[in-house]
Structure 1
Amino acid sequence: MAFRGKSIDKDYILIHDYSCCKCEENDLSAEAQHFCPQCEHYLCDRCVRMHRDYFKKHIVYGRGEIQKWVRFSIDRCEQHGKELEVHCDDHQELCCCLCVALNHRLCSSISHLPDLARGFLKTAKFRQIPEAMDEISRRLDELKNTRVKDQASVNDTYNNFMAQIKALRKEINKILDKLENDTVKHFESIIKDLKKDVKDDLENCDRMNDQLETMFDMLQQITDKHKETSTYISFKKCQTKLSEAYSLVQEIQKRPNVRIGFKLDKTVLPFLRKLKNLGNVRSMPKETYSMHVYKAQSSAKYNVKIKEDLNECHIVGICELPSEDFVIADCYNFRVKLLNVSYQVIDHCNLPACPRDLCHIAEQEIAVVVNADCKLHEVHFFTVSRGKLQAVRQFKTGHECFSIAHHQGQLYVGSDNALFLYAMNGQLKKSVYELISGVHTCAVSPDRERIYITNTSASKLMILDKHSQVLSALEHTNLVEPTGLCVSNSGHVFVCGSMFNSVLQVDMEGRQKLTTVVSGEASGLYYPQSVWFSEQTGSLIVGNNEENSILVVKLC
């Protein structure tokens, strides 16, 4: 047997996972500890020393890299390192002599590999191998690309949800801060009143004491002079003042002895303790989103005109923040407006020209495109904090600005006849797509695989791939002069058909209309210009042409 690196005669049967090739040539048995891929030899410790003397440039792998041994020897058994000799037809496995001895002694059919291989090069199965390899390689590449996109989508979803969670936490903090401030103000108001009462009583007591003391001194002085009439007059005045003093004492004593009590309202604590999280997270297949079709359940209008507005409102852009507040672009009044969760205008900012569209960037930041004929074409950025809009920066473009969309730190800005890609710092990266005219609104799918454009001139919803190739161009009778466009984080696509006062839901690929969600002036639509789908509230928010209100449609 092999003992301390020594070889023994092969007559003594030893089973090694890999045996030394050189020892086997001399009818010896030794376990291999090394492998040379160039020679395709398994070597024991003794034989590897001689091998290195002869082949100094050969790379030899030791037991620590045993996973590299097998791939260099296709005709070797992966388990035992010996030459593959037979095929077990029962188990459909290639076997060496040790495999047969250990695992396949009871098998009914074992074939000799040279017999099976005879004439195999001419068979159809062998000739089909390259094609099959190409096909599976192509499918693996497609699957890899899909999963890379899924990875990006997961990251986007994570960032979006984290922004929503942080915004909700901020909103909760804001509510708690308001409750605290209101409670403190009420408490301070009560304390102020009590302090005033005590202060007034102290001042009245001091004043009455001073008056009594003065009156008594005067009485004594007159009495000492023995003037009876003057003394009597002074006496009567003393009695009157004493009467006033008794009345003051009685008045103060009759007042209740006020003590301030405060009882904490702890009803909110059990509710918060019952909550397991700030929202429900569900993992859903993509098909669940793409096939979900919505219908209108109810609707209501909310006034968005403010006293500073000189013209009728013309809402050309809508987006929702993680805090569930909304920002709208009012074209005819040159301003953006901030709406709270009840769709009430709580703040606004003026712009140097007509806003034409806006989009959500990240967390509480938005971007707005403004346009004034051939004079002014700019992108303005705003943040929202504590219910206030604040302008932060801007950049100019060399073309008209009618639409804007954002995806992963890049801005898609549309003119009347082209779509351009910008970096966030205003650097023009490339022209994405060009047509004769009619670009109204643009949007990007969550995975950036599709770019959507409403073409008012051709009355089409155009869908491009990420390489700017046209995938489809949807036409529909209710989609004449399409304007507003919205693609939600889950891929739901909604588009306005202004001519027939309708809002349609289309499939993610833009190949077919799924449903007409809402239509007709009777439903509250009047040449709709903008649309937003709130997944947080399950509502569709629509901005009309020259109307002082937005339409909020509850979907189901």
Structure 2
Amino acid sequence: MATKGSSIYKGSDLIHDFCCSKCKQNDLNTEAHNFCPECGHYLCEKCVGLHNGYHNSHNVFGRGDIEQWLVSSIDRCDQHGKELEVHCDDHQEPCCSICVAVNHRLCNSISHIPDIAKGFQTKTEFKQLPAAVDKMRSSLDELKKSRTKDQAEFQKWYKNIVAEIKFLRKEIDSILDQIEKATIEQLDNTIGDLENDVRDDVKKCVNMNDQLKRLMENFNQMIGKCKETKSYIVYRKCTAKLNQTDYLISEIQRKPKEEIHFEFDKTIVSSLKSLKTFGFTGMNYSKQDKYCTYQVLSSKQYNVKMNKDEETCTITGICGLPSGHIVISDGRWNGSIKLLNSQFEVIDHCDLSAPNDVCSIAANEVAVAVCNSTKKDEVQIIKVAQGRFQKKRKFTTAYSCFSIAHHQDKLYVSSKTALYQYTMDGEIVKKIHEDNSGKLTVLRCAVSPDGEIIYVSNFDENKLISLDRCGRVLSSFTDPELRKVFGLCVSPCGLVFVSGCGSVIQVDSEGTKKLATLARKVDGMNTPISLCLVENTSTLVVGGKKEDDIVVLQLGKMCENENII
């Protein structure tokens, strides 16, 4: 920490926490004791007098308000307060000297911010930033309104259940006073848990919205006033905050909609004295979500073959990211994973020996199952940043790695005849399920949103198997339209989509009942072997064997006794 006082030396090596911006322009090293957020300038005791003469309406902060310096300084590191001078290309974030020394020593590429910021204010992505922030803030507002509406529904359910309790209370004698109290307390606790969840979501939305607002206030203040370096930094900070916001929205929207129910115990009269409550107060997923079915409204094909591909594409795996990007594995002959934008155009690729399946593990990361007949099978962890793939790490698997799924830091890997659970570091936890009756009895795997059900496809016996977390078989589903079960995916609200030879069907969350047939061979479904539901756009992306096109089905939601949504 520099001592208080002015130090002016041309070419001096003295290091100050904050140097006077005006003196620095004249190659003078002077410690700043004031900061003007409107000008974005740090000022020494001499220069602040000149500044105040020209800008007497500006609010200048002194050393006593040092926290305001950091809040207002867009070109300062939020963590260390140092000037953001360089850019880590590996992590796509501006860094100060301390950041580089502590967190980025092993990174491959570090750039000087003034170099990469040249001409950035003229780029399209910079000009589109305000619109992107406005759109994200609108999404936060809509989500907050939706969750607030859910909170009102909880109160309606609460009143209905209390009325039910009161009606029951009339049929019994005075000893039920304490039981009634205990039951309502149980209900209060359940409602409290739900309200806390909603309150937390609303708070997150408000906080994120405020952060975006503050960033845009800085953005608007600096337009036409600041150097390109600061423009680039505010762009990077806004982009990072937009990614965080996008992930937050996706995380909240993935939550199934709750319902509260009350189950009356019919033996209450005969066993009244042995009971503590009238019944059980709990939650159910809404009937609309649980039994919602889809109908295909339209179908389009998009070519995903690249010039470098020597063979016809075989899309063996598909997953979506909150950013709107789609990752597909073209692994049978071409040996690569491909990144698609929201228009389903290939914008990047990453060569791998034999990528067979892919799943999302974070907002901008995927895990790829590499099933190689000549080498050890492995799982590749790959990051998606600025529309580009970046390999992060990998680990080999003890068994064949044919399909992969993820839930809360657990990786599920199928080996064609068995299902294993791994940690994110590649340590095998346990074998969950095994079926040696054929060669392809555990082909694909997927996990329900709550992690309670694991689905596997049995190719040999034309079955969809549902397992609990311990590997016990809960159900076995077959259907005449489902032959050679291959493709499998689960929506955020728990609906299951399965494909076989020439058909794509929708199954309920228990994996016991067909809800709809979405497409057949006559609709162009020749060999659908990979599926992914993009829920926010209600589109089902289908990949096939030896087909250069993916099929994108636009779906319409059909709930019980309702029209298409």
TM-score relative to the length of structure 1: 0.51
How far 1:427 moved relative to its partner? Answer: 0.6
Q: Do the aligned partners of 2:317 and 2:531 also contact (CA within 8 Å) in 1?
A: yes
Q: Is residue 456 of structure 1 aligned with residue 484 of structure 2? A: no
Distance 2:355 2:173 in 1: 71
Distance 1:325 1:535 in 2: 13
Match of 1:355 in 2: 355
Q: Deviations over 1:253-286 (max 9, x none)?
A: xxxxxxxxxxxxxxxxxxxxxxxx9899794541
Match of 1:503 in 2: 504
How far 1:488 moved relative to its partner? Answer: 1.0
Match of 1:543 in 2: 543
Task: Compare CA radii of gyration and give the structure with the larger one.
Answer: 1
Q: Do the aligned partners of 1:450 and 1:464 also contact (CA within 8 Å) in 2?
A: yes
- Matching of residues 289-308 of structure 1 within 5 Å: 289-308=289-308
Distance 2:406 2:171 in 1: 60
Match of 1:80 in 2: none
Partner amino acid, structure 1, of 2:411: L
Q: Is residue 446 of structure 1 aligned with residue 449 of structure 2? A: yes
How far 1:347 moved relative to its partner? Answer: 0.4
Match of 2:140 in 1: none
Distance 1:509 1:91, change over 3 A: closer
- Secondary structure (helix, strand or coil) at the match of 1:478 reads coil
Q: Deviations over 1:229-250 (max 9, x none)?
A: xxxxxxxxxxxxxxxxxxxxxx
- Matching of residues 424-443 of structure 1 within 5 Å: 424-436=424-436, 437-438=439-440, 439-443=442-446
Match of 1:396 in 2: 396
Distance 1:392 1:496, change over 3 A: same
Distance 1:92 1:440 in 2: 60
Match of 2:371 in 1: 371
- Secondary structure (helix, strand or coil) at the match of 1:457 reads coil
Q: Deviations over 1:162-201 (max 9, x none)?
A: 8xx99xx8xx99xx9xxx9xxx99xxxxxxxxxxxxxxxx
How far 1:376 moved relative to its partner? Answer: 2.1
How far 1:309 moved relative to its partner? Answer: 0.8
- Secondary structure (helix, strand or coil) at the match of 1:392 reads strand
Match of 1:494 in 2: 497
- Secondary structure (helix, strand or coil) at the match of 2:371 reads strand
Match of 2:317 in 1: 317
Q: Do the aligned partners of 2:506 and 2:518 also contact (CA within 8 Å) in 1?
A: yes
RMSD: 4.0
Distance 2:291 2:517 in 1: 15
Distance 1:283 1:421, change over 3 A: closer
Distance 1:371 1:356 in 2: 6
Partner amino acid, structure 2, of 1:448: G
Q: Is residue 345 of structure 1 aligned with residue 346 of structure 2? A: yes
- Secondary structure (helix, strand or coil) at the match of 2:460 reads coil
Q: Deviations over 1:436-485 (max 9, x none)?
A: 13221100001111100001011100000122110111011111101110
Distance 1:553 1:496 in 2: 13
Match of 1:225 in 2: none
Between the aligned residues of both structures, percent identity stands at 39
Q: Deviations over 1:330-356 (max 9, x none)?
A: 0121111000000000000001x2111
Distance 2:427 2:172 in 1: 64
- Matching of residues 375-386 of structure 1 within 5 Å: 375-386=375-386
- Matching of residues 98-497 of structure 1 within 5 Å: 283=257, 285=259, 286=285, 287-331=287-331, 332-351=333-352, 353-373=353-373, 375-436=375-436, 437-438=439-440, 439-497=442-500
Q: Do the aligned partners of 1:359 and 1:406 also contact (CA within 8 Å) in 2?
A: yes
How far 1:374 moved relative to its partner? Answer: 5.3
Distance 2:512 2:372 in 1: 35
Q: Deviations over 1:106-140 (max 9, x none)?
A: xxxxxxxxxxxxxxxxxxxxxxxxxx9xxxx9x9x
Partner amino acid, structure 1, of 2:347: I
Q: Do the aligned partners of 1:417 and 1:434 also contact (CA within 8 Å) in 2?
A: yes
- Secondary structure (helix, strand or coil) at the match of 2:486 reads strand
How far 1:375 moved relative to its partner? Answer: 2.3
Distance 1:308 1:91, change over 3 A: closer
Partner amino acid, structure 1, of 2:454: I
How far 1:91 moved relative to its partner? Answer: 9.8
Distance 1:308 1:472, change over 3 A: same
- Secondary structure (helix, strand or coil) at the match of 1:483 reads coil
Match of 1:528 in 2: 528
Q: Do the aligned partners of 1:465 and 1:471 also contact (CA within 8 Å) in 2?
A: yes
Partner amino acid, structure 1, of 2:318: I
How far 1:90 moved relative to its partner? Answer: 12
Unaligned runs of 5+ residues in structure 2 are 1-169, 229-247, 260-284, 557-565
- Secondary structure (helix, strand or coil) at the match of 1:440 reads coil
Unaligned runs of 5+ residues in structure 1 are 1-88, 95-131, 186-276
Distance 1:424 1:295, change over 3 A: same
- Secondary structure (helix, strand or coil) at the match of 1:481 reads coil
Distance 1:420 1:400 in 2: 10
How far 1:310 moved relative to its partner? Answer: 1.0
Q: Do the aligned partners of 2:487 and 2:531 also contact (CA within 8 Å) in 1?
A: yes
How far 1:416 moved relative to its partner? Answer: 1.3
Partner amino acid, structure 2, of 1:375: K
Q: Do the aligned partners of 1:329 and 1:357 also contact (CA within 8 Å) in 2?
A: yes
Q: Do the aligned partners of 2:257 and 2:289 also contact (CA within 8 Å) in 1?
A: no
How far 1:524 moved relative to its partner? Answer: 2.3
Distance 1:435 1:530 in 2: 22
Distance 2:434 2:172 in 1: 61
Match of 1:22 in 2: none
Higher deviation after alignment, 448-457 or 371-380: 371-380
How far 1:406 moved relative to its partner? Answer: 0.2
Distance 1:337 1:90, change over 3 A: closer
Distance 2:519 2:314 in 1: 20
Distance 2:484 2:507 in 1: 16
Distance 1:278 1:484, change over 3 A: closer
Distance 1:90 1:465, change over 3 A: closer
Partner amino acid, structure 2, of 1:489: P
Q: Do the aligned partners of 1:324 and 1:536 also contact (CA within 8 Å) in 2?
A: no
Distance 1:91 1:319 in 2: 56
- Secondary structure (helix, strand or coil) at the match of 2:456 reads strand
Distance 1:446 1:299 in 2: 27
Distance 1:356 1:158, change over 3 A: farther
- Secondary structure (helix, strand or coil) at the match of 2:294 reads coil
Distance 1:378 1:324, change over 3 A: same
Q: Do the aligned partners of 2:300 and 2:552 also contact (CA within 8 Å) in 1?
A: yes
Partner amino acid, structure 1, of 2:334: N
Distance 1:402 1:284 in 2: 35
Distance 1:92 1:478, change over 3 A: closer
Q: Deviations over 1:300-347 (max 9, x none)?
A: 000100111111110011110001110000012111100000000000
Partner amino acid, structure 2, of 1:472: S
TM-score relative to the length of structure 2: 0.50
Partner amino acid, structure 2, of 1:549: D
Partner amino acid, structure 2, of 1:405: A
- Secondary structure (helix, strand or coil) at the match of 1:536 reads helix
